[in-house]
Structure 1
């Protein structure tokens, strides 16, 4: 609503297994997400040459992978995953799954409800986020239980991103207080 009021046109998109696509039988594999985001960008470019991105969590990671060579007006990331390999390694360690076991089984449903895929893991390792040249602002919750602060802060420093931290904020901004903070942050950049 805030963006529309300021003249932005909005393209909204859910990754597989998220939002409106939870009912669809697609696995949320990074390769498919990248493919989908390329289609979205091609469509956006047919409408405008002034493109900004707002993405959260996994969507931010997919944006970093897919749009690293795009010239974007600005990027706004909420609770971004910026190092998927580290996140998967943490999950494997927590669930006591070795890299060799994942390689052998190809697909493992974890005890915490996520499915790990060998091809996904290989893709992530082969495509590190080592390039990002777009003006980017990040909002991060100090109590984010998914993305480690030092990883997000290191990314922000490496790629010269603005980083704002909401004290006591979680990964998922959903409470009234968190949403109000998010709206105020968003207003600064729109």
Structure 2
């Protein structure tokens, strides 16, 4: 598979696959990087598409950055990335996982996306932060006073982030969207996924015994099969349809 390392106004990126007018933008979640798009690209690029994956702030080649993995830094970057994509491809689709899906929805809701695939997406950031505050036994008043609180499970609670989530709920998402969700996801409540799917007419697939992070051989097999079913191509082999 052809693979090119490029830079989009300073954002490290990889372009996967042979030249095509159809593109998937790949947005990873927390702890990910642009290289993790390899498995997805192996499937998609056989179907006459290309994939463009990037490193979000504080990830991949950008690990040295600090205090930038937040929507007020990431949304402008993603808007820049899709502007670049629109200059070079005729049809653009989106694959995003976990918090990457939330960043993408904040950034792309007015863009001409053809299709979207979401893996374990964060669809209600307010609910997620509330859950983490409960885990850490932190009240809203305490968070407002201290501004940032490092939890014993490795996440930092931020008053600015909390305020942003209240001010920026996802209220518009008009694209054909497929969601893959693990039955045992401990971060994203099933009711939030089902409410989002109902509201925006998404097709929801729930993997029995699946988790938030799809990483076991069985989970990865389910993920690959889901991608194959939902990425259309006239050139797809019959046994992959």
Q: Normalised by the size of structure 2, how large is the TM-score? A: 0.75
Match of 1:96 in 2: 137
- Equivalences, count: 190
Asked if 1:125 is matched to 2:166, the reply is yes
Structure 1 residues not aligned, in runs of 5+: none
Question: What is aligned with 1:55?
Answer: 96
Equivalent-residue separation in structure 1 for 2:52 and 2:67 (angstroms): 21
Picking from 22, 27, 36, the partner of 2:63 is 22
Residue 108 in structure 1 maps to residue 149 in structure 2: yes
Extract unaligned runs of 5+ from structure 2: 1-41, 232-241
1:135 maps onto 2:192 in alignment: no
Equivalent residue, structure 1, for 2:195: 154
CA distance in 1, matches of 2:109, 2:170: 8
- Higher relative CO (Cα under 8 Å, sequence separation at least 6) belongs to 1
Aligned to 1:33: 74
Q: Which moved more, 1:150-159 or 1:19-28?
A: 19-28
Q: How far did residue 27 of structure 1 move?
A: 3.5
Rounded Cα–Cα distance in structure 1 between residues aligned with 2:154 and 2:184: 21
Larger gyration radius, structure 1 or structure 2: 2
RMSD: 1.3
Aligned equivalent of 1:10: 51
Per the TM alignment, residue 31 of structure 1 is displaced from its structure 2 partner at its CA by 1.2
Cα distance in structure 2, aligned partners of 1:143 and 1:98: 26
SS of 2:53's equivalent?
coil
Are residue 172 (structure 1) and residue 190 (structure 2) matched? Answer: no
Distance 1:148 1:131 in 2: 20
Q: TM-score, normalised by structure 1?
A: 0.95
